[in-house]
Amino acid sequence: MKVFKFGGASVKDAEGIKNVYSVLEQVGHKDVLLVISAMGKTTNALEVVIKNYIDKSPELQSSLQDVKKYHNQILLDLFEEENHEVFTVVNKLFADLEYFLKHNKSPNYNFVYDQVVSTGEMVSTTIVSQYFNYRGLQNQWLDVREFIKTDNTYRDAIVDWEHTQQNIVKKIQRKTLNITQGFLGSDENNFTTTLGREGSDYSAAIFAYCLNAESVTIWKDVQGVLNADPRYFENAILLNQISYREAIELAFYGATVIHPKTLQPLQRKEIPLYVKSFINPLLAGTSVSKGADLEPHTSCYIVKKNQLLISLSSLDFSFIMEENISEIFALLHQYKMKVHLIQNSAISFSVCVDDKFGNFSELKKLLSKKFKVTYNEDVSLYTIRHFTEKSVNAVAQNKEVLVKQVSRETMQVVTKEKI
């Protein structure tokens, strides 16, 4: 069996769904498990619904209506008959969501989040499955929550591999086209859980691992894995082949094409991963597989914008020791700071973090009680794998370098634009 994953960009509208159908017609669909994300920016739109629900905002109904209208337009564009059963099924899914919002008693934001955002994947896969049947491509729609079992760490659930494997091996039908949701699972009480943002790639890897799949293909709007993000770097080139190790390194440092959790289960069973274009599906794309000889022969660039560089030094010039670092990291965790780089000396400690939740002002108050705190906002963190002097100079050009860190294969620099 092969596992295909299509993300939100590939099914953002009716033309996208028709294109996915075309891709399967070209590359084959027998004995395929299709993992599909929510359509377009639906997850973001449902996050607005959640915010309005939590805030008891009068905008709740209009934000929910926006999501419903978006999907209804896609249905109208795909199906000629407005009495097609898909309209009833999708309306039922939204009715279930509204019922939850009216009757939920849990104050746990993360629990609410998972129950609400999951509607996106349930609706998208329902529409795709029904459209394929409508076009004569028979398929089996699967509720992923019956297969992937997790703990109850809502929004970042940990997979129960034993029960998940049992479910998948027992229930998945082979020699047919199966369609299911990415990103989702369920806990022991059958409440919906999610695997972390962009977790649909991970879902595909879970199914592949449990099914001993032939391969996994992630279909993107780019031709494969590039050595740099073309939004920030000119002349980005395609990496035709890379090793699991290299892909894990790139994902760890922030390359967005492959989700970090995806690679480990595939590597364990040496299941090849392909990253291909749903715009040009017959192109080779990038293959990720075993082999030290598959390292890129070019520098690879990853950039994280809008970062925060925090530098701490002791108030009395004493050493910053293990107990200090332990306390600092506990606070970084408490205030949800994602750490991307660390550098320390005897009396100073610097971290480059992503303040995604805007908690730095509160964190700074606590840190200032024990440390002198200086910081630089809106900095950029560049990571260069297989760096050369030329690649480093290109990144640092016209920028102020605040921190530089070098290992055998990787260089990281924190920069700020010169004023």
Binding residues for ATP: 5-8, 231
The CA R_g of the chain, rounded to the nearest whole Å, is 23
Decide if 227 contacts 240 (C-beta within 8 A): no
Binding residues for substrate: 43, 121
How far is 411 from 385, CA to CA, in rounded Å?
7
How far apart, in whole angstroms, are the C-alpha atoms of residue 74 and residue 381?
39
CA atoms of 225 and 302, how far apart (whole Å): 12
Give the annotated binding-site residues: 5-8, 43, 121, 231
**Helix, coil or strand: residue 419:** coil
Token duo for residue 200 = 């649909």
Alpha-carbon distance of 346 to 166, in angstroms, equals 52
CA quadruple 352, 358, 359, 360: dihedral sign: positive
H or E stretch including 241?
Answer: strand 241-243
Please tell me the distance from the alpha carbon of residue 30 to that of residue 327, in angstroms, as a whole number: 54
Strand partners, 319: none
- The strand order across the sheet containing 286-289 reads 140-141, 177-181, 32-36, 2-6, 215-220, 273-277, 286-289, 241-243
